Structure 1
Amino acid sequence: MYKYSVILISLLSMVLFVWALNVEDEYGARALGMGRTFVAVADDGYSALWNPAGMDFFKERTLTAMFSRLYWGVDNDAIGQGFLSYIHHWDGIGSAGITVTQLFSNIWWETRAVFSYGKRIGGKFSVGMNMKLLRNEVVKSNITYTEQPGDIEHGISNPAEDPFFAANGWSKIGFTGDVGAMYKPNRKLTIGLMAANLTQPDMSFAGIGAEGKEPLSIRVGASYWIKDNILPAFDIRYLNDEVNGKNIIRPNIGVEYWFAGKNIAVRSGFNPEEYAFGFTYRSRKSLDLQVDYAFIYPLSDVRQTGATSHKLSATLRFLPPPKPLFDLALRTTNMSAYPQNAIIGEPINIKAVVENLGERDVDEYKVSLYYEDPEQGWVLAAPVKTVKEKLEPGAKKEIEWSWTAGQKGHYQFFAAVDDDGIAIPNLHGSISEIDEDNNKGFVEFTVFPLPEGTVSPVENSLEISQVTLIREEEPIVPVIFFDPMEHRVDDRFQHMLSVISERLRKNPDIHINLYGYYNPESDGDIYEFGEKLALNRAKAVRSVLFHRFPDIRDQIHIVAPPAYDPAHYRSGKSEDHLPEDRARAEAENRRVEMRTYVEGFQDWEPTVFFNKNSA
């Protein structure tokens, strides 16, 4: 009888133990190693459980897994935890994650499926939510019973035939939700809030009410980066679960220290229930693997059994692939009209060439043709054409119209690609392009009335007595700067680049080498991803340079690492400057440099000789 009483008591104790657990507070070796102070950190694969609002503050997609053995030293059972999570990001839409957790022992399984969503609102604030499916189960197949003499006389029967479970079932399913918020007023300070188990579902098998409910948990905290490698954090947690007639309010404190290079970190944390410490190794390579470990020593009565917990988790981080660029072009140099001198009533054939200067296929686009009428203003010369023919990168498509003039005059016709014609002469399209200044071209022609009278030719001559050559140069600073994590050329550089492209067209023996750079402090410190960003910046500058004159494409060259260091500082590291100058210093490091040479004279160096008496 004693044997089976122990089984039933152990089972009941396990059920009560699981009710006391909260999923969002039990997973992630990094978070647990900081004493569970993670609501204002939440910047990795565990953010979905600790604070879903944190998911949209980092760009990497993450795949995270964890396994841990709980309470080493407790005999006759193997209590463990498992965790698997994936977080994905979409530009402008937000971030979403799916997580599955399990707490298991020989006769008890607790499973949670969590669907998470987070969205930044502006640059400093984010909100998030979780929808959770909860399932608790007593594993009937693992319950063993061997009848002993006297069991029937003493009322002992097979636990697998217990009338309680026969009446209430061996499993229970419930649903609940969480909400979170995060605020980052600057790069160092973060404030977080998380409320879990909002509906407090009753997960007891018999539906006993308040005592069987998942308790409401509210956590608020803050973290602050010191010198970009020390992260102290502090949380306060409220748990709507009475102990001695009072709800639980517990503080948590933790700190994390990253060594130079940010490949290795150590951490420690404390709360009234436990002391913890741990460490991390992160590869920070193209395969960005992070492994976290935590050791937890309970400060409750459990420590008297010698029970401790070890947590081990791993996270793979994937940066989203660089977005291919759209860039359609329709330029004046590729437009024509025939005849150039037409007669009223004579059809005029107008042609324009659409080019795909970008990196992505374009499946459908619109082209408009319009002019300015002296009386009606801007009018469409023909219905807007919709081209449903794939235009691959580097490909061209000729568009043709026929128009007949009703009155004489000199006409200037404009054609525009990716334009639906509802806002002429302004562009109104649907394709987000890297450069929309090259979407419009024009052609001119003259329409005459039918000739009348006679024409008497007179010999004319033109004599040039003097030719004056005026050469005017515009000073150029051969550096293009970029916003953090961006590779789009800002509008303020368009004029300068158009001047450079014009000079390249007029000087075919001049070549330009483009060197792209990134700033580790503001663009991220992973070399492989920074190298890709630097190359994308150089590609964007190249695209803008030859969009007006495709013939200069062979004069523009992109230099790729390792021929140079794409992380080379132009104005020094951020920490070398005063706080008010750091933003400008970092901006100067996010750049593309242009260096010219004369074809055939790449290795020549100019030498200037001065008179010894010159000043």
Structure 2
Amino acid sequence: MKSGYIKIIILLSLLFVYGAASAEDLSHIPGAFVDIGYGARPMGMGGAFVGLADDRNAVMWNPAGLMKLKDQGVSFMWAKQLGFIPYNYFCYSRSLGEQYRIGGGLIFSGDDLMSETTFLISLASSLAKLNPFLEELALAMNLKIRSSSFGNNSDGDPDRVTGDAFGYGLDLGLMWIFSEKISFGMLLRDLLNDITWNSSQIELGASEYSESVPLEWTIGASYRHSPSSVMVIDVRKALYKDVEDRLIVGVEQKVFKIIYLRAGWGQNIGAKYSNQETGMGFGIVKQLKNFDFQFDFAYMLNDLKNTPRLGVSLNW
């Protein structure tokens, strides 16, 4: 019975994926609102997190994973992508009884030359009320509002292009907690989305056009060997001819009482350009009187520019 429901959900998702992937012939490598990988803990594991999604970062990686959380808390991440683009990321989640979880997130990147802001709301629900056999299955969605502005730098040319953008996005997540040790996850990022860009220049006047952020489909699995050790495997399936399948593997190991060591690796599958990326990092978790404090650090190594990420979380 449970496997039948899961097959139906996956089949419907594939129909949506096929329709969205066939809709355009434009380039499907995003140039704006790029997912750089948010959260120092997930990126310390190389970006393998969809199949685990067991902390506040589930808001971005797989909102269905919020059903694993019983408490409430906040997480913050800072990164300087490629050494010059600042990113600030904040997320929050809490329980709404046994049946629901709610979360939210905010991403701000860039400067006056060009800035991007994404605000999102997450809602996750167990499917136990539909059928007791579905107690370990959760569905979730993210509703995203996006905005951008560019050309507002005071040192720019008087005839520079200026403008703004506004749009929306919808993610769908699935989490199957198969056992205490094993879970499976799936994320359809930007299943529905659209962004309208407005620009103007003294000589050319104003213009407007719309485009979408390319859809991403990721499936993953996690295996918790012990309470202090976990392994995650994610596969990002290519939906367009100019995008490659990608495999990502990550591990986390608790050492001593408060320190977690992490590592991960990812690369394209069956492509001439492997685009390998390696992540490594650590976390320190300290239980205080009224809340838990967590500091996370990740360092990403790739062909373009190595990038550190710093994260802080409070859970209560």
TM-score normalised per structure 2? 0.78
Using a 3 Å threshold, how does the CA distance of structure 1 residues 268 and 86 change in structure 2: closer, same or farther?
same
Q: Cα RMSD (Å) of the superposition?
A: 2.0
Query: Cα deviation per residue 1:228-280 (whole Å; 9 max; x = unaligned)?
Result: 2221110011354x5xx43332111111111143x110111111231110000
Letter of the structure 2 residue corresponding to residue 81 of structure 1: Y
* Alpha-carbon distance in structure 2 between the residues aligned to 1:296 and 1:202: 29
Pair 1:126-2:126 in alignment = no
From 45, 49, 63, the equivalent of 2:60 is: 49
Higher relative contact order (CA 8 A, sep 6+): 2
Report the counterpart of residue 312 of structure 2 in structure 1: 314
AA aligned opposite 1:290:
Q
What corresponds to 2:293 in structure 1? Answer: 289
CA contact 2:167–2:193 (8 Å) conserved in 1: no
Going from structure 1 to structure 2, the CA distance change for 1:20 and 1:315 (only over 3 Å counts) comes to closer
Q: Which residue of 2 aligns with 1:21?
A: 34
- What displacement does 1:184 show? 1.0
Work out whether 1:159 is the aligned partner of 2:159.
yes
SS in 2 for 1:226: strand
Per-residue Cα deviation, 1:4-41 (whole angstroms, up to 9, x for no partner) = xxxxxxxxxxxx8742713xx52101111111110011
Change (3 A) 1:236 1:204: farther
Tell me the distance in 1 between the aligned counterparts of 2:248 and 2:33.
18
Contact persistence 2:113–2:151 (CA under 8 A): yes
Confirm or deny: 8 A CA contact 1:269 1:277 kept in the other structure: yes
Q: Secondary structure at the match of 1:247?
A: coil
Aligned match of 1:271 in 260, 266, 270?
266
5+ residue gaps, structure 1, are: 1-15, 73-77, 146-157, 319-615
CA–CA distance in structure 1, aligned partners of residues 142 and 76 of structure 2:
19
Could you tell me which residue of structure 1 aligns to residue 69 of structure 2?
58
Amino acid at match of 2:173: G
Runs of 4+ in 1 over 2 A off after TM superposition: 16-20, 141-145, 202-209, 245-248, 284-287
Q: How does 1:382-421 map to 2 (within 5 A)?
A: none
Query: Residues of 1 paired with 2:98 and 2:226: CA distance?
Result: 31
Is 1:70 aligned with 2:68? Answer: no
Q: Deviations over 1:416-439 (max 9, x none)?
A: xxxxxxxxxxxxxxxxxxxxxxxx
Instruction: Provide the rounded CA distance (Å) in 1 between the counterparts of 2:154 and 2:99.
Output: 46
Q: Tell me how far apart the structure 2 counterparts of residues 178 and 203 of structure 1 sit (CA, whole Å).
A: 19
Checking the alignment, whether the CA contact within 8 Å between 1:180 and 1:195 is kept in structure 2 is: yes
The one-letter code of the counterpart of 1:144 is G
Fraction of identical pairs, as percent: 22
Amino acid at match of 1:275: T
**Paired residue type of 1:317:** N
Whether 2:236 is the aligned partner of 1:227: answer no
SS at match of 2:235: strand
CA contact (8 A) 2:175 2:184 kept: yes
Aligned-partner SS, 1:32: helix
Deviation at 1:200, TM superposition (A): 3.5
Aligned residues: 265
8 Å contact from structure 2 (residues 99, 126) kept in 1: no
Change (3 A) 1:228 1:93: closer
Q: How far apart, in 1, do the equivalents of 2:278 and 2:110 lie?
A: 24
| Distance in 2 of aligned mates of 1:225 and 1:89 | 23
Q: Is the 8 A contact 1:109 1:139 kept in 2?
A: no
Q: Which has the larger radius of gyration?
A: 1
Per the alignment, in what secondary structure is the counterpart of residue 55 of structure 2? coil
CA contact (8 A) 2:144 2:169 kept: yes
List aligned pairs for 1:215-614, cutoff 5 A: 215-240=214-239, 242=240, 245-261=241-257, 263-272=258-267, 273=275, 274-286=277-289, 287-299=291-303, 302=304, 307-318=305-316
- The verdict on how the C-alpha distance between 1:247 and 1:20 changes in structure 2, with shifts beyond 3 A counting, is farther
Once the two structures are superposed, what CA deviation does each residue of 1:549-587 show, in whole Å capped at 9, x if it has no partner?
Answer: xxxxxxxxxxxxxxxxxxxxxxxxxxxxxxxxxxxxxxx
Structure having the higher helix fraction is 1
Q: Structure 1 residues 199 and 259, CA, compared in 2 at 3 Å: closer, same or farther?
A: same
- Quote the Cα distance in structure 1 between the aligned partners of 2:238 and 2:149: 24
Output the amino acid matched with 1:133. Answer: I
1:182 aligns with 2:175: yes
Aligned partner of residue 186 in structure 1, secondary structure: coil
TM-fit CA distance, 1:204: 4.6
